[in-house]
Structures are given as structure tokens and as C-alpha cells.
């Protein structure tokens, strides 16, 4: 592509160990070879920005070609790829300094010059022309750089195979750009795919579509040149100038979705660190929302140049948020992949997370209907933060919405729940389970429902975990209705009837009999103040693990042995009082009844009896006895 002049080029050694650096870069620093294109485009855009800055004080440098551009030229037959810019360019000494020394870029020196100036506003220097440039050798076995500095007549050619030496010398100016730099990559055989126009266009749009310089593509040496990126970045424009349709198009491009954003967040943070944020909450639930390997979908940019979409900008419980962060403060002196360890990124993570939660709070206050839809889609994910993010639990509890035993199909906030507490109610009651209908009709809720006490109905798996984290809301702790004693004695029934006091002596004796009979199956049998209509129910022991959490752990193999539950008996239920009046002569019946009461409670709890065969036999004996008594009474 370029030819040297008659003056012999000089052969020089690199000032750093290029071979070791390339090995590190290929095998450790850069996991995706496509970054070479991003790096070279970054350098080209950098050069255009340098010219724009210096052109302010010396307009002659711009000449008749004031519009910056980057052109990618492909030659599939020759297996070559070239990237040309009309930026500031380099003289031969500058080229030797910038390309002959690893991690020296010209950009660093240029930034020092800007720092010395009084007004550096508007200088947008993207990459560092050093380590990033050498990523080209991941796909090329020979790289040539032809350059002419703005305002100069001379041009120079730098060439290397990246193995330890390079050649540099003057060339015929006709073989170099009129101004700027052309980087030619002689691609390796396995990298020939980078001469395919559609692939290059896809990579550019995904990784460099928002650099502040238009990008053009020529797919064949004799083909027309077409623009593939316009050099504009939506997030750099004032919000007032952006339409809802433009936001929607940007969301669809960033997220790869076809719906519309339910919430758009666009702002610029200033202060210790400066960065722009454009984020969207989707209108619909992604199909892989609960994929355990699913990471966040926030892209990270450095001055409009894509860095990575694998940086954990938001915590996992906000993984449904799509968008980007564009920062000018990230350290890029080694590689863009390693910035995830930067304290600057840590500060950005904190700021963006707090802002997303704040915007959700505003939406919940100003447009409850819109927020309720977001909660319906992503509430189960947001609740993961109650378990994982101690510092933000208060905000997340405020955002939480729940169906309750009294709300029907509506969602209730904890603020609404606490505002409706009954006199002497000291806790926020909840029940966990997999099925909402079964949960709403579970016998453990009867005493609470009879007293008008609202119970949160928690059906997401994460609910069984975050409620164990010792949380409270406005001083009210969370208490399970299926664990420990209900302690409802201080909250009377609306009709004035009392469910407290000692049970009749015969009922007490029957409860003791059941306790003795079931001693190997339950940890305790006691009279219940939470039952109104049902005869029995199962609950966890006061200091035991909640039954629903125990089921989940057992299903995951993390709880091999289930603990024995507590069987609560309703001392005022007709079945219980009738059984309690049976004499010792009906001991066999009473034993069958004790086991059947446990089985009934087990079935009501959504499980099968521990011994289905024994359950069937006892039920058969009981039915047979009832039929014999019935036929005897009618004289059959």
C-alpha cells in the first residue's frame, strides 16, 4: 500500500520488551481480539480531537479539510485492513517516540500541554496511543503506519512485525494521507474475517459508534465509501433537545430489545468524578432475568469509546437496567479491561446505583401505576437487594410492594401497611409459600384475618431469605405467621369474643395424648390462638428455621434433614372437642385420629403425608367405623 523512498529506512529496537508485552496482552489483558479495532479507532479519533484543539489557535492546520473523519478500508484479496484519519498526524521523530516505546503515546505529552494551558475545555482525548496500538498484532503479522503531520510537507513510514524491531523512514508524501495517519494491518490468515464489511460495520456500531468523529467504510479498493457512524452521542446532548422517540431508538439499539423503556434516566454527574449516564428500565421482562449467570447490561464508555459491557456498574439486583456510563476519569494507561479494579469505577458504581433507586422512588411517588408495572416485572429481582445490600435496605424496603391477605389483587407498600396497624400490633406479619391462592387460604392466617391483621403474602423464592436478615421497617420487625407462637392475645377479636385462657381439662389431656403419640414426628403439640376455623396446622419451632425456607434448602440439597414441626391444635374446634371426650376404651381410634390430624395439617401445608400407605389405612379404618355406626343407627 505504501512504498518507501530511496532513503533507506532505519531499523531500530523497541525500548521495551514488545514480545513479552504482546504475550501478556493476547493471553491476559485482552480476551476479545476485536478490541484492536476499537483501539485503533480510538487513536484515530484522538488524533482528530488533537487537531481540533490545536486548530483553534492555528486555523491553518485545518486547511480546506476542516471536518474530521475516520475511514476504514478493506482489501479482502490482499487480506489487508487500513484505518485512516485526517487528524493531527505525526512527524518522523514523533512517530519514533510514540510507536517505538511501549506505553508512550503522545497523548500523555499532549495532556500535559493542555494542563499547562488556562482553558482546556472541550479537549476530548480518547485513547492512549501505546499499549492499545499494539493490540493490532493480535490479528496482524505486519503493521505499517504512514503519517504526515498537519501543516508539514514531509511524511514518514513506520513498519514492524511486533517481534522486537521496527523500521522507520521518510516516504513519498503521495504515499501518505494529505494530513493525518493511515494504519495498515496485514492480517493473519485466521483473522481474514476482518476484511468482511458486514463484520466490521457490526463491530464499529457496537464498540465505537459513538466516538465524536464520523466513521466511513470502503469494503473494496474500488468501492464507494459510505458512512457507518455519524460521530454523534445521544447522551452528550441536552435532555431538552432529545425526543421520546430518540430515547426509544437508543434504548432498542443498546438493549437489543423491541419494546419501549418504562423509565429513562439521563444525567451528567459532576464533582470529584465526571460521567454521563443514560439508563433504561425495560417495559417487559427479559427472558433470561433469572439466569444465574446473567450479568448486568450496562455498557461502559470512555469519552464515547466503548470499553466493556462486563463491568459490574450496577449490583446484580438491578441487572434488568440497560444503558451506559460514559466517563472521562477512568485510568486507561494499561488496558480498558483492567479498569474494573479502579476506585473511580467504584465511585461511579455507588453514584449510579443510588441514582437509579432514587429515580424509582420518584416514579413510585409521582406515577404509582407506572411504578407498579415495573415492580410486577422486576420486584422479585429488586428484593434480592434486601438480602445482599445492607447499606440500601431502607431504600429498597420503601420501594417494595406486596400482595397481602387484605389487598386482593392490589400491591401495598410497607408504609401503607404500617399505617393500617391494629392497636397493640408490634410486628409486620408475613407468610411465605409458592402459591398465592394456597397461601391466602392457609389455616395459619385465620387468627390474623379474624382480627383484621394484614399479612404479607410472599411467593418469590428470595422472600424466604431476605425476611431472615433481621430487617425492620419504621421500627416494626418482620414476623412469620408460620414460625413460633402467634402471640395474638393482645389483639382482641372484633366481636369481643376471647380466644385466650386455659383450654378445658379434657382438651388439655387430649393434646397431651396427641403429643405423646406423635413424639417421633413433631417437636411439640400445643393449643393454638391462630386457628379459628381449622382444627390443626403446622408451624416451625420458635427458634427453628421457617418451614418454607427449609423446603427450599432441602430441595437444593443444602438441608438434608428436615426439622420436626410444631402441631398446633384448635381447642375450640368441634372435631377436637369431640375427640377429647372419647374414653380410654377408644385408644386405637384416638391414636388413628392423632396421626390423621397431623396428616391433615401436612396436606394443608402443601405436602403429602410422611407415610401415604399408613394414612390410607387409618382413613379406611375411620371410614369403616363411621359406616358401621351409621348403619347401626338406622337399623341396617
Cβ count within 10 A of residue 388: 17
Q: How far is CA 350 from CA 123, 173, 305, 354, in A?
A: 27, 52, 22, 6
Is 325 marked within a binding site? Answer: no
Q: How far apart are CA 317 and CA 388, in angstroms?
A: 9
Q: How wide is the angle at C-alpha 104 spanned by C-alphas 99 and 110, nearest 5°? A: 105
Look up residue 199 and give its three cell numbers. Answer: 463484520
Is 90 marked within a binding site? Answer: yes
Is there a contact between 355 and 267 (Cβ–Cβ < 8 Å)?
yes
List, in order, residues 6 or more apart from 137 with CB less than 8 Å away: 22, 143, 161, 162
Is 106 marked within a binding site? Answer: yes
- Stated as kind and residue range, the H or E segment containing 480 is strand 476-480
Is 510 marked within a binding site? Answer: no
Is 31 marked within a binding site? Answer: no
- The backbone torsions φ and ψ at residue 245, rounded to the nearest 5 degrees and listed phi first, read -65, -40
Q: How far apart are CA 18 and CA 591, in angstroms?
A: 85
Is 131 marked within a binding site? Answer: yes
Q: How far apart are CA 326 and CA 300, in angstroms?
A: 6
> How do beta strands 455-458 and 412-413 pair?
unpaired
> How do beta strands 226-229 and 80-85 pair?
unpaired
Is 478 marked within a binding site? Answer: no
Is there a contact between 327 and 275 (Cβ–Cβ < 8 Å)?
yes
Is 129 marked within a binding site? Answer: yes
Is 137 marked within a binding site? Answer: no
DSSP state of 334: S
Is there a contact between 467 and 479 (Cβ–Cβ < 8 Å)?
no
- Stated as kind and residue range, the H or E segment containing 144 is strand 140-148
Is 132 marked within a binding site? Answer: yes
* Cβ-count burial 132-143 (b if 16+ within 10 Å, e if not): bbbbbbbbbebb
Is 181 marked within a binding site? Answer: yes
Q: How far apart are CA 149 and CA 53, in angstroms?
A: 15
Q: Where are the alpha helices (DSSP H) in 143-220?
A: 197-207
Which residue ranges are tagged as binding site for ATP?
39, 43, 85, 90, 105-106, 128-133, 181, 336
Which residue ranges are tagged as binding site?
39, 43, 85, 90, 105-106, 128-133, 181, 336
Amino acid at each position: 500500500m505504501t512504498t518507501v523512498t530511496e532513503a533507506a529506512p532505519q531499523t531500530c529496537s523497541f525500548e521495551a520488551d514488545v514480545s513479552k508485552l504482546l504475550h501478556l496482552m493476547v493471553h491476559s489483558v485482552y480476551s476479545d481480539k476485536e478490541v484492536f479495532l476499537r483501539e485503533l479507532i480510538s487513536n484515530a479519533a484522538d488524533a482528530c480531537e488533537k487537531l481540533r484543539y490545536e486548530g483553534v489557535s492555528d486555523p491553518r492546520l485545518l486547511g480546506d479539510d476542516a471536518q474530521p473523519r475516520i475511514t476504514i478500508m478493506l482489501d479482502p484479496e490482499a487480506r489487508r485492513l487500513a484505518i485512516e484519519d485526517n487528524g493531527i498526524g505525526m512527524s518522523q521523530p514523533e512517530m519514533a517516540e510514540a510507536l517505538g516505546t511501549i506505553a508512550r503515546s503522545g497523548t500523555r505529552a499532549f495532556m500535559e500541554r493542555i494542563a499547562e494551558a488556562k482553558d482546556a475545555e472541550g479537549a476530548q482525548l480518547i485513547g492512549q496511543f501505546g499499549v492499545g496500538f499494539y493490540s493490532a498484532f493480535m490479528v496482524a503479522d505486519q503493521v505499517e503506519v504512514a503519517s504526515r503531520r498537519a501543516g508539514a510537507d514531509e511524511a514518514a513510514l513506520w513498519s514492524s512485525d511486533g517481534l522486537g524491531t521496527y523500521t522507520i523512514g521518510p516516504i513519498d508524501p503521495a504515499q501518505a494521507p494529505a494530513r493525518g495517519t493511515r494504519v495498515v494491518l496485514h492480517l493473519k490468515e485466521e483473522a481474514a474475517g476482518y476484511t468482511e464489511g458486514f463484520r466490521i460495520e457490526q463491530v464499529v456500531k457496537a464498540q465505537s459508534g459513538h466516538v465524536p468523529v464520523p466513521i466511513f467504510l470502503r469494503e473494496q479498493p474500488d468501492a464507494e465509501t459510505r458512512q457507518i457512524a455519524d460521530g454523534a452521542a445521544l447522551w452528550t446532548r441536552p435532555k431538552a433537545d432529545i425526543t421520546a422517540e430518540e430515547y426509544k431508538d437508543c434504548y432498542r439499539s443498546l438493549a437489543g430489545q423491541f419494546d419501549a423503556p418504562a423509565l429513562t434516566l439521563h444525567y451528567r454527574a459532576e464533582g470529584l468524578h465526571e460521567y454521563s449516564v443514560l439508563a433504561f428500565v425495560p417495559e417487559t421482562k427479559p427472558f433470561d432475568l433469572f439466569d444465574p449467570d446473567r450479568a448486568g447490561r450496562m455498557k461502559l464508555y470512555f469519552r464515547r469509546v466503548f470499553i466493556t459491557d462486563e463491568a459490574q456498574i450496577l449490583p446484580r439486583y438491578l441487572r434488568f437496567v440497560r444503558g451506559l456510563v460514559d466517563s472521562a476519569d477512568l485510568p486507561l494507561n494499561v488496558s480498558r479491561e483492567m479498569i474494573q479494579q479502579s476506585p473511580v469505577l467504584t465511585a461511579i458504581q455507588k453514584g449510579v446505583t443510588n441514582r437509579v433507586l432514587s429515580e424509582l422512588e420518584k416514579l413510585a411517588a409521582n406515577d404509582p401505576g407506572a411504578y407498579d408495572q415495573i415492580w410486577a416485572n422486576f420486584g422479585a429481582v429488586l428484593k434480592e437487594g434486601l438480602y445482599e445490600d445492607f447499606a440500601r435496605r431502607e431504600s429498597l424496603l420503601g420501594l417494595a410492594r406486596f400482595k397481602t391477605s387484605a389487598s386482593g389483587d392490589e400491591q401495598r407498600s410497607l408504609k401503607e401497611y404500617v399505617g393500617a396497624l391494629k392497636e397493640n400490633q408490634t410486628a409486620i406479619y408475613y407468610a411465605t409459600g409458592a402459591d398465592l391462592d394456597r397461601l391466602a387460604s392457609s389455616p395459619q392466617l385465620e387468627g390474623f384475618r379474624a382480627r383484621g391483621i394484614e399479612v404479607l403474602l410472599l411467593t418469590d423464592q428470595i422472600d424466604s431469605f431476605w425476611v431472615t436478615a433481621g430487617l425492620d421497617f419504621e421500627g416494626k420487625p418482620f414476623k412469620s405467621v408460620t414460625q413460633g407462637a402467634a402471640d395474638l392475645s393482645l389483639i382482641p377479636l372484633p366481636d369481643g369474643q376471647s380466644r385466650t385462657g386455659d383450654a378445658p381439662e379434657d382438651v388439655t389431656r387430649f393434646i397431651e395424648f396427641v403429643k405423646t403419640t406423635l413424639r417421633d414426628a413433631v417437636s411439640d403439640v400445643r393449643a393454638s390462638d391462630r386457628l379459628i376455623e381449622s382444627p390443626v396446622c403446622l408451624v416451625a419451632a420458635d427458634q427453628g428455621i421457617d418451614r418454607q425456607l427449609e423446603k427450599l434448602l432441602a430441595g437444593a440439597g443444602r438441608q438434608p434433614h428436615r426439622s420436626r414441626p410444631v402441631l398446633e391444635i384448635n381447642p375450640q374446634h368441634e372435631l377436637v372437642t369431640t375427640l377429647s371426650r372419647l374414653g380410654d376404651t377408644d385408644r386405637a381410634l384416638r391414636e388413628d385420629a392423632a396421626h390423621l390430624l397431623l396428616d391433615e395439617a401436612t396436606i394443608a401445608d402443601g405436602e403429602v403425608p410422611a407415610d401415604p400407605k399408613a394414612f390410607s389405612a387409618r382413613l379406611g379404618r375411620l371410614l369403616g367405623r363411621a359406616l358401621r355406626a351409621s348403619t347401626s343407627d338406622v337399623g341396617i
